[in-house]
Structure 1
Amino acid sequence: MNQLLEIKLKELNIQINEIQKKQFDTFYSMLVEWNKVMNLTGITEYEEVIEKHFVDSLSIVNIFDLSEINTVIDVGTGAGFPGIPLKIAFPHLKITLLDSLNKRINFLDSVIDELKLDGIYTIHGRAEDFAKKDDYRERYDLCVSRAVANLSTLSEYCLPYIRVGGMFISYKSGDVDDEVLESKKAISILGGKLDNVVKFQLPGTDINRSFIKIEKIKNTGKKYPRKAGLPSKEPLK
């Protein structure tokens, strides 16, 4: 077992046991193997995956206490980031992984099965559709997303899933100041309030990252999210 993951996680004050280490290793192996036949990630070198996927996913602990919550939804999870690293490191979390591509969902189901993870579920579909369903709407303590989309669009995807008093945290790279400014009205319309923007570097790298924390302060209006495709084509302004 490469010790890099353990060292990096200690920098985040996260300690993992032997079972969790093995789960991370198996997840890495499956990611690389499946990536040969489908496009999951452009990052496959072990050290890069640890830094840019695993540590990046878990660096949320610097700004949010995961021990205080139970339910999480990861919108646009892709290859399972940040949802699967969060589940491995914090097994108490009940996590839903949502993605629109069925091939990725098949991969995630295989990972969940191989790693013997309990209390983690996958949904194949669009964020706009499932946010209208009673089983998912305003049911979660926390919504996370590393999806690449405009913050106004992401807020429309994500805020409808969060209960009042819960939090949406968007993982972003680089400079986000203009994007945050442009999304303030959309966030307000959707029942959210900008809590904080936290900028940091991934431990031991020169990679700049940002977390945008949005608190859910009131229920999202029933007409949101708008029908599939509209949030990305015509972001709220």
Structure 2
Amino acid sequence: MTNSTTPLLPEIAEIWQQTLNWQPTTQQQAKFQQLYELILEGNTQLNLTRITEPQEFWEKHLWDSLRGIVLEKQFIPSLPEGASVIDIGTGAGFPGIPVGIIAPNSTVTLLDSTRKKITFIDKVLATLGLSNCKTLLGRTEEIGQQTQHRQTYDLALIRAVGTASVCAEYSLPLLKQGGLAVIYRGTWTEEETIALQNAVKLLGGEIESIAQFTTPLTDSIRHCLYLRKVATTPPEFPRAVGIPHQKPL
């Protein structure tokens, strides 16, 4: 039920269609609205996001989350078939929860090291009835060394977590061979690509593509880096907690 005092998210079907070649069903749109309301409510106790205005929330949280999983105007092929997805450092649940809403056959694991955020997300998942999503409390460096998580995911999503080489070290060990890591970025330069190549190679990956796009409402520039896992990640990666940040590859 929509709270009468909560602003409504825009229902810009034509923008979804033009930019992602897709649009939400009525049910998915209702879940997006419900998610928005839960985030606004949760924000009063937890510092979840500064983005609370409806159009900004739509663009920076919903559209941006889903744009990252679109390649050549189609969702990443494994998604509809039931991919195993991990969202590393999910925070308030982005991009993982929107992905879980639109890809009900996929299993989405939302990983964060902050217990309060995980508790909040558990409540969101229960309220939205997202049985294909689950939470995981822990540090990526430790999770990446655990047998039940290492080399088990088809898709790793990582947004707003450290430098690109840190993101590569967090995500590639978790992927199956052939899996894909999506690193969400604002700006990006050619020099950064060159610097990242060595780190990615060391981790058993390769840079498959780098997409640049502009957001539909504010024309902000965004980038997504797509790293393909092509070989086994050496067992020493990810390194111990804190080291990837202190000594990036």
The 5-angstrom pairing of residues 71-220 of structure 1 reads: 71-220=84-233
- Count of residues paired in the alignment: 236
Structure-2 change in CA distance of 1:5 and 1:110 (3 Å): farther
1:33 corresponds in structure 2 to 41
Kept after mapping to 1: 8 A contact 2:151/2:173? yes
Q: Could you tell me which residue of structure 1 aligns to residue 29 of structure 2? A: 21
Give secondary structure in 1 for the equivalent of 2:134.
Answer: strand
Corresponding position of 2:54: 46
Distance 1:41 1:177 in 2: 30
Which consecutive unaligned segments of at least 5 residues does structure 2 have? 1-7
Gaps of 5+ in 1: none
Deviations 1:71-108 (A, max 9, x none): 11010111111000011111111100101111111111
Task: Please tell me the residue identity of whatever aligns with 1:155.
Answer: A
The 8 Å contact of residues 75 and 158 in structure 1, kept in 2 or not, is answered as: yes
Using the alignment, how far apart are the partners of 1:8 and 1:108 within structure 2?
A: 28
RMSD: 1.4
Measured against aligned partners, the alpha-carbon deviations of 1:159-187 in whole angstroms (never above 9, x if no partner) come to 00000111111010012432222121111
CA separation in 1, counterparts of 2:241 and 2:10? 44
Q: Counterpart of 2:68 in 1: which secondary structure?
A: helix
Does the 8 Å CA contact 2:11/2:29 hold for their aligned counterparts?
A: no
Normalised to the residue count of structure 2, the TM-score between the two structures is: 0.90
> Structure 1 vs Structure 2: percent identity of aligned residues?
37
- Write out per-residue CA displacement over residues 46-92 of structure 1, whole angstroms, 9 at most, x where no aligned residue: 11100110000001243133335511101011111100001111111
**Preserved CA contact (<8 Å) 1:75 1:147:** no
Distance 1:169 1:34, change over 3 A: same
Contact 1:197–1:213 (Cα < 8 Å) also in 2: yes
State TM-score, norm by structure 1.
0.95
Tell me, in whole angstroms, the C-alpha distance in 2 between the residues paired with 1:36 and 1:178.
41
Letter in 2 for 1:39: N
Report the equivalent of 1:4.
Answer: 11
Structure 2 CA distance, aligned partners of 1:218 and 1:80? Answer: 30
SS at match of 1:67: coil
**Retained in 1: the 8 A contact 2:82–2:105?**
no
What one-letter code is carried by the residue in structure 2 that aligns with 1:23? K
Q: Structure 1 or 2: larger helix share?
A: 1
2:233 equivalent to 1:223? no
